[in-house]
């Protein structure tokens, strides 16, 4: 069944930017009649107790979800199967070992991309920072064996091979966002599994969304650039399994920023639900105080204050009219007074 979702990482308490995005994801799912799912993205750093506190924070603002929360750390079989499907469909060379460090990649991607173009030639798309240059793609087995003795290998996807392009080519991917419109980007040889053995975000999130039937993704617009390559990977995985690719609805909402225009972070002070409600455990907060915080977050998105279900029609109307905010919201603690 088609679904929407929110997927926090349990690295600490949620701040108001996280909570605002979660509320908008919930409203989008309810406005479209989709179930709303919660996924704990705990493949990376995890702080003890964070998952419980985050679930309590979401509940305190009126969010609910329609199935038990799932944890990525318990779904490695799903990611194993995704890598196996890519190898089966495109051959063993579709996934290759990479021994590069982040420093190696940064140095390679910052090097000149060639002598430039001659008059009359079409411009070559610029490679964004961190774009993988394919350093390990053509290593011999002897070279791989040598590098294994020094550094564990990550696994990368050979994007050109999978897309049927010449060696070193880069597929161009497209996705549509309800606020931004069409977003395009080149696809490099993305990491599927890191050298510490953990599966990479791009593979895990795509495999999870496909497995859970998620076809509505609402998240912060700092992730907009990753959307074309994730859309491409979803299509590739579906083709490898002989399944239809989903037509995912994306909505990347502006972030909450501090007074200097930088992305809001815990270092900016009283930005968590616990801080704003004056308690250590949000389950002990004054309900009236929680309602005031909820209402401030709704107003920040141009929506009427009140219980979340009552805001669903207003959200649907604002989305239809293109009236949702397109600029970052500047955090001001006075708004929550």
Q: Which pLDDT tens digit goes with each residue over 134-178?
A: 999 999 999 999 999 999 999 999 999 999 999 889 999 999 999
Q: Is the pTM of this model over 0.85?
A: yes
Q: Where are the alpha helices (DSSP H) in the chain?
A: 16-32, 50-60, 76-90, 102-109, 141-148, 159-163, 201-212, 227-240, 273-277, 287-300, 308-320
**Average pLDDT, integer, range 52-72:** 96
Ordered by where they begin, the domains of the chain are 3-73+254-336 (3.40.50.620), 75-109+126-245 (3.40.50.620)
What's the chain's average pLDDT? 90
CA distance 9 to 40: 6
Judge whether 152 and 194 are in contact, CB under 8 Å: no
pLDDT exceeds 70 at position 128: no
**Average pLDDT, integer, range 46-58:** 92
């Amino acid at each position: 069944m088609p679904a929407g979702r929110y997927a926090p990482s349990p690295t600490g308490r949620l701040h108001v930017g996280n909570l605002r995005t979660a509320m908008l994801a919930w409203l989008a799912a309810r406005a479209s009649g989709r179930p709303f799912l919660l996924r704990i993205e705990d493949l990376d750093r995890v702080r003890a107790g964070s998952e419980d506190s985050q679930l309590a924070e979401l509940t305190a603002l009126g969010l609910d979800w329609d199935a038990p929360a799932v944890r990525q750390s318990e779904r490695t079989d799903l990611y194993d199967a995704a890598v196996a499907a890519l190898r089966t469909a495109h051959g063993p060379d579709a996934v290759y070992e990479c021994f590069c460090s982040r420093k190696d990649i940064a140095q390679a991607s910052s090097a000149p991309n060639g002598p430039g173009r001659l008059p009359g030639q079409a411009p070559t798309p610029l490679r964004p920072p961190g774009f993988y240059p394919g350093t390990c793609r053509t290593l011999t087995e002897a070279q791989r064996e040598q590098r294994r003795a020094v550094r564990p290998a990550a696994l990368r996807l050979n994007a050109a091979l999978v897309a049927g392009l010449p060696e070193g080519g880069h597929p161009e991917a497209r996705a549509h966002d309800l606020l931004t419109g069409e977003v395009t980007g080149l696809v490099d040889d993305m990491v599927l599994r890191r050298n510490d053995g953990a599966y990479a975000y791009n593979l895990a999130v795509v495999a999870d969304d496909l497995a859970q039937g998620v076809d509505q993704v609402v998240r912060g617009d700092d992730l907009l650039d990753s959307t074309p390559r994730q859309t491409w990977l979803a299509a590739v995985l579906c083709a490898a399994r002989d399944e239809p690719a989903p037509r995912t609805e994306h909505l990347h909402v502006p972030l909450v920023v501090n007074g200097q225009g930088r992305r809001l972070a815990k270092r900016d002070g009283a930005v968590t639900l616990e801080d704003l409600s004056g308690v250590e455990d949000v389950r002990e907060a004054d309900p009236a105080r929680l309602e005031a915080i909820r209402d401030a977050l709704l107003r920040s998105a141009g929506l009427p204050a009140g219980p979340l279900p009552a805001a669903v029609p207003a959200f649907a109307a604002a989305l239809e009219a293109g009236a949702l905010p397109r600029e970052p919201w500047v955090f001001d603690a006075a708004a929550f007074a």
